[in-house]
Amino acid sequence: MMNEIIAKISKGSNMDQIYIPKNREGGMPVGQYVMITPLTPMQGRIERERKYKPYFYNVKKIEPLKLELIAEIFKLLDGINPDNIIITGSFLEPGFRFNDIDILAVKEGKIDAERIQNKIEQLIGIKCHILPLNSKTLISGLSTDPLYGLMLSKCISRNRLIFKIKRRIEPKLLDFQLLKSKTLIDNFDILNGEEKYYLTMNLIAISLFIKNKKLSKEAVNKNIEEIFKLKIADIKNNLLEKEEFVGRYREIYNKTFNLIMEKLK
C-alpha cells in the first residue's frame, strides 16, 4: 500500500527540506526511505481540496490507525456540510482501550445523528456517539458547563477552533450536574471502578469550574490524586477503602454544593 503526504519544500541554510507531521496516517517511521515526486498544478489543487489537515489540541501522540479512522469519519461527515467536526473522549488516549468514538458535529440546522452513527459503525466497525450542535450551543456550553470544557481540553478537529470564552456560573445547571455525582455516595457498593471515576471526575470538574481554575483532564486527575491521596488507577480498578473514600468524597461534595448555593444567592 502506497501512502502519500503532501508537503511543501522549505529553503534551508545548507539543504532544502520537507517537513511532515509527526502524527501521520499510514506509518512512514523515522529512518524509512521514501520517494519525493513533484505535483502538477492540477494535482496540487485536487489534493488541497481532498486532504484535510487535522488540528490537534493537547494530543501529543496518536496511533496511525486512529488517524486513518478519523480521516474516514471526516470524509463520511462531509455529506452534511458541517461547520466543524471534533473528535474527543477516551479514543484519543494512548492504546486501544476505548469503548466508542465521541464526535461533535457542529452545524446550523438539524442532523440525523442516528443515521450517521449507523453509517460510520458499518464502515469502520466501531461504535460512535455523535453529539449534534450548532456554534452558539457549543460556545454556551463551554461558558457554563464544565463537561464541555473537559471534552474540548483534548481533541482533534477538522477545522481550527477559535473561541473567546468567558465562564458564566449558572447555579441551577451546576446543581443538576452535581446531583449526578451524589450517586456515588448512595450506591458505592454497586458501582464499578469506571463509574466511580466518572462521578469523581464530574465532582472535581464542577469544583474547579466554580473556582475559575484550569479545566482539563490532566488537571482534574491531579486534583483527584491530591485530594484523595491515591492513584487514578486505584479508582478505576475499584481498589478503594469505602469508609475513608466516601467520607472525603462527601466532604468535597458538600463544599461544592455550598459554593453553588452561594452563587445562587
In this predicted structure, the answer to whether residue 46 has a pLDDT above a threshold of 50 is no
Q: For residues 208 and 215, give the distance between their C-alpha atoms in angstroms, rounded to a whole number.
A: 7
Of the listed ranges 9-13, 16-20, 38-42, 99-103, the one predicted with least confidence: 38-42
pLDDT at 164: 78
pLDDT at 11: 65
Element (H, E) at 105: strand 101-106
Instruction: Identify the architecture of domain 53-164 in CATH.
Output: 2-Layer Sandwich (3.30)
Q: For residues 73 and 66, give the distance between their C-alpha atoms in angstroms, rounded to a whole number.
A: 11
| DSSP state letter for 133 | E
For residue 198, give the nearest of 206, 168, 170 by alpha carbon: 206
For the chain, domain boundaries: 1-51, 53-164, 171-264
pLDDT at 38: 73
User: Quick one: average pLDDT of 252-257?
Assistant: 96
Predicted confidence (pLDDT) per residue in 214-225, tens digit = 889 999 999 999
What is the percent of the chain where pLDDT is above 70?
A: 85
pLDDT at 66: 92
Grid cell locating 230 = 491515591
Predicted confidence (pLDDT) per residue in 99-153, tens digit = 889 999 999 988 888 998 998 899 888 999 999 999 999 999 999 999 999 999 9
Helix (H, G, I), strand (E, B) or coil at 88: strand
Categorize the per-residue pLDDT at 245 as very low, low, confident or very high, splitting at 50, 70 and 90.
very high
In this predicted structure, the answer to whether residue 55 has a pLDDT above a threshold of 80 is yes
User: Quick one: average pLDDT of 23-27?
Assistant: 60
Of the listed ranges 91-95, 96-100, 191-195, 251-255, the one predicted with least confidence: 96-100
Predicted confidence (pLDDT) per residue in 161-175, tens digit = 987 788 899 999 999
pLDDT at 69: 92
In this predicted structure, the answer to whether residue 23 has a pLDDT above a threshold of 70 is no
pLDDT at 30: 75
Contact 74, 52 (CB under 8 A): yes
pTM beyond 0.85, yes or no: no
DSSP string, 206-259: HHHHHTT---SHHHHHHHHHHHHTS-HHHHHTT---HHHHHHHHHHHHHHHHHH
Predicted confidence (pLDDT) per residue in 177-198, tens digit = 999 999 999 999 999 999 999 9
Q: For residues 59 and 43, give the distance between their C-alpha atoms in angstroms, rounded to a whole number.
A: 31
pLDDT at 244: 95
